[in-house]
Structure 1
């Protein structure tokens, strides 16, 4: 099959008092040798973070870490002195490079939900960096907008060191769009909300959808849908 839907209920689960996490790929205590990533896409975590809690300082290196905030806000602090608050619908990117320590806190009075997306870089040992950007949902109505990208022509996106892109769109019920894939490329789709079809195959919010061997991806919204699509090289 060129379209594989991985239902949310069957993904890896991790639960503690402040964190309700679902892992699309092997991560932490969840291991499935058949789900180690798609190309350079190594991690897609669906995290629900309780109010006034979060991830205390911890290190990373040689990873492009994209955070998409679905609800609430996340507050970032790191060893480079960066700090910032990223709200729902917006994106932050941390390139861990030679090494960085960071913390991610929910300082809000409500649960914050995020997609945490890790992509392996083309180059090891880069200078670490962090950035954030607002991407109003109205600007994504009916069209995929590059949010984080290392691909040519995506000048408005937050930069990552990989021939890959994370794009986002919002679709009204009955609305559709088509995304072209270059030969040999593949994609991974996850909807934050809604229900939709990918080349005729139905998927629901928070399911993972792997697309391989297709030259085009047609997304049809069956109800209002907020979608992220990772356009990925082979591997």
Structure 2
């Protein structure tokens, strides 16, 4: 089953400096039917205004993967990590028992990002943070795994997360198609970024999402040059 979640149907949080669209209901915000998918329970499409962002705040018992789509954000935490992440960068943070961090847009232009939250496979543990770049050339016509709870993915270069999921990205050119096989049990969430995409017979506009259940294989056809970001569930009991 492929459940279409159009961008215009998503819950929204708007502040003077933040425009966030929620692919999953969080608290009292979002549509009742936009339920979590396995360990995946937050996927926010965020835009930070210049010289704004979240100050130091706490997280615990959550895996957070952030993909920077345009502009740049600056991460800082109480474990001593600090980095400026430009477009085409990903960070993975395991909050563990607790971590305090800040995410700011210190630039003169807006920053756009996807922020993805996953329930941890096992509770507790020490906080952990890492980042890497993934250029458009590297992901051209194929999926690259950005972060994963699978040891083989990590050995191949993915950032480690403590969750039964993997986060991947591909860049597709207009008019191209690809077949993509999902891990069992075949559930995932996919977002079309920057362009239009057909997922089987479901037609996505830019920034639309689809929840995918009980599907072993997907046919993806790009109608524009675009990026596809997907979170795949790795185990039934995730």
Q: TM-score, normalised by structure 1?
A: 0.96
TM-superposed CA distance for 1:37, in Å, is 1.1
Query: Per-residue displacement from partner, 1:163-199 (whole Å, max 9, x unpaired)?
Result: 2101000010011222212332301001221101112
TM-superposed CA distance for 1:211, in Å, is 1.1
Q: Which residue of 2 aligns with 1:195?
A: 196
Query: Per-residue displacement from partner, 1:48-78 (whole Å, max 9, x unpaired)?
Result: 0000000011100011100000000110000
Secondary structure of the 2:38 match is coil
147-156 vs 75-84, which moves further = 147-156
Q: Which residue of 2 aligns with 1:159?
A: 160
Q: Which residue of 1 aligns with 2:98?
A: 99
TM-superposed CA distance for 1:28, in Å, is 4.6
Partner Cα distance (1:16, 1:95) in 2 = 27
Q: Closer, same or farther in 2 for the Cα pair 1:178/1:86, shift >3 Å?
A: same
Q: Which residue of 2 aligns with 1:214?
A: 215
Partner Cα distance (1:74, 1:197) in 2 = 31
Gaps of 5+ in 1: none
Query: Per-residue displacement from partner, 1:197-217 (whole Å, max 9, x unpaired)?
Result: 112211111111111111111
| 1:135 is aligned to 2:134 | yes
Q: Which residue of 2 aligns with 1:16?
A: 15
Q: Which residue of 2 aligns with 1:223?
A: 224
| 1:144 is aligned to 2:115 | no
Query: Per-residue displacement from partner, 1:30-63 (whole Å, max 9, x unpaired)?
Result: 0544223111001000110000000011100011
Secondary structure of the 2:203 match is strand
Q: Which residue of 2 aligns with 1:61?
A: 60
Query: Per-residue displacement from partner, 1:107-143 (whole Å, max 9, x unpaired)?
Result: 1110000100001110100110111001111100000
Gaps of 5+ in 2: none
Secondary structure of the 1:197 match is strand
What is the CA RMSD across the aligned residues, in angstroms? 1.2
Partner Cα distance (1:110, 1:191) in 2 = 23
Q: TM-score, normalised by structure 2?
A: 0.95
Number of paired residues?
234
Secondary structure of the 2:68 match is strand
Partner Cα distance (1:228, 1:31) in 2 = 21
